[in-house]
Structure 1
């Protein structure tokens, strides 16, 4: 228990204590080009990093990278640290390492850093999120891990990664989707825009609409319209017994507002006054809505 508390205390110092000062609102520079010496190491001396956020490897993209490496070499060196077995653990650049082997390279350029486990984790997550073209779910998992391990706010993570708080919040919302839909995003069957549109639906409707998107090969825009039709249908069903006709102009306005702020909007219009209701499911989602309104 005491060891765990000690680790949490160290992590509580924040990323700046581990990685050096980072200017607020700017992407973190972890020092790949500062005070480093390039070395060439045999590919067999490198091993996969423990903190690698990538889970899905696109074989076609990896082959394309291998062809690029054959033609131009590795432009960005791989970041590594020594391990206890005499080899080197990859902190950032595993995809380049794999592609180099496919390209038949015997050695790869590396930068060696002597860092603690905590620092290696932070560097691996940040470097891979910034540089390695992760899919949205991998990015969201990496960001979630940064937040959990280092007790960061969405605003702080956005500062390290050069992104807005709303962008961070929207990415993390993807993790609330059921596993089957997250896998569709990981495998490239659904884009980030598709997933965000599905988040506007009740959980019970998301899987059926996701399958429909795949079957009809719908664009993000078409998916957003489909989601709004589903929401409008549900809304009319809820109001079905009220004895009041539902104004088409109000319905169109609800749809337009919902699409613009990416949240469910309801308008309750009366002869002298009315109410505008916007649904959200977390403070982070509310922050994203407010950012889009502004």
Structure 2
């Protein structure tokens, strides 16, 4: 207990050093920089601002309350990391959940590692640390990777080394950004998994993506079922294009073939259409479950 008290006292001593205008440390070469940079310092929470480069945008209120309760009982176990902005002004690099929870508890100070970093370095540190250590949703991770590419100019190979992930893993996350924004939001809200997203991204048309997305939600489709549905849709399109290339005018009249895709896209299922020389025909709409039948019924009846 004596060691903990001594460490805390040291942190408070460094805090006083930072409040001295004569010791306004701006670089690692400044006087007393070695005593502060890289050390744990007790900082006033009001002197810290949130990081605009923070990749996390969703904070679960219940989880935040649980963390606040833990901090109330045990204190801050792991210090946050900040960078120095100006005299007695700091900005979060990592640890926003701990920072927010500490404010909920009403703490006036918080232990923090102090870094000297420019905007680009701060962005890279925030993105890399959050990717490695926080439970970001798949879209947040994908956006973080994209920002490292766009704003830090990291190649996927360099990013792989920096974050300790395989290049193929990074590629799979980045491909999720090709999904329709509605589906991306669904992933962020936990309505479907990354596995579902990886299956849907193989569909080029956003309209078709949304059709299957709706089925995932209404029928509670597993990843494997979604993959099979995507495969059927793609196989159907390949078969249709081959058939039309051979005898498009012989099999179906133009007024039918022209609108088949719109019917399929609207219903998000494979639709079989046949027509006789007399102009009579039929449309076959398959379904694989009670839930799918009810979904189709609502679409067809306009409910």
- So what's the TM-score if we normalise by structure 1? 0.65
Shift of the 217–37 alpha-carbon distance from structure 1 to 2, 3 Å rule, reads same
- Displacement of 1:108: 1.8
Shift of the 63–221 alpha-carbon distance from structure 1 to 2, 3 Å rule, reads farther
Q: Which has the higher helix share?
A: 2
Give the alignment partner of residue 227 of structure 1, picking from 221, 225, 230.
230
Partner SS, residue 50 of structure 1: coil
Partner SS, residue 83 of structure 1: strand
Shift of the 166–105 alpha-carbon distance from structure 1 to 2, 3 Å rule, reads same
Q: Which has the higher contact order (CA 8 A, sep 6+)?
A: 1
- Displacement of 1:209: 0.8
1:135 is matched with which residue?
Answer: 137
Instruction: Tell me if structure 1 keeps the 8 A contact 2:120–2:152.
Output: no
Deviates more, 1:185-194 or 1:53-62: 53-62
- Displacement of 1:85: 6.4
Q: Aligned ranges for residues 175-194 of structure 1 at < 5 Å?
A: 175-194=177-196
- Deviating beyond 4 angstroms after TM superposition, the runs of 4 or more aligned structure 1 residues are none
1:168 matched to 2:167? no
Partner SS, residue 81 of structure 2: strand
Instruction: Tell me if structure 2 keeps the 8 A contact 1:93–1:132.
Output: no
Give 1 or 2 for the bigger CA radius of gyration.
2
- So what's the TM-score if we normalise by structure 2? 0.63
Q: Is there any run of 5+ residues in structure 2 with no aligned partner, and where?
A: 1-36, 248-303
1:124 matched to 2:126? yes
2:69 is matched with which residue?
Answer: 67
Instruction: Tell me if structure 1 keeps the 8 A contact 2:94–2:126.
Output: yes
1:206 matched to 2:209? yes
Q: Is there any run of 5+ residues in structure 1 with no aligned partner, and where?
A: 1-34, 244-294
2:111 is matched with which residue?
Answer: 109
- Rounded to whole Å, the distance in 2 between the matches of 1:68 and 1:215 is 38
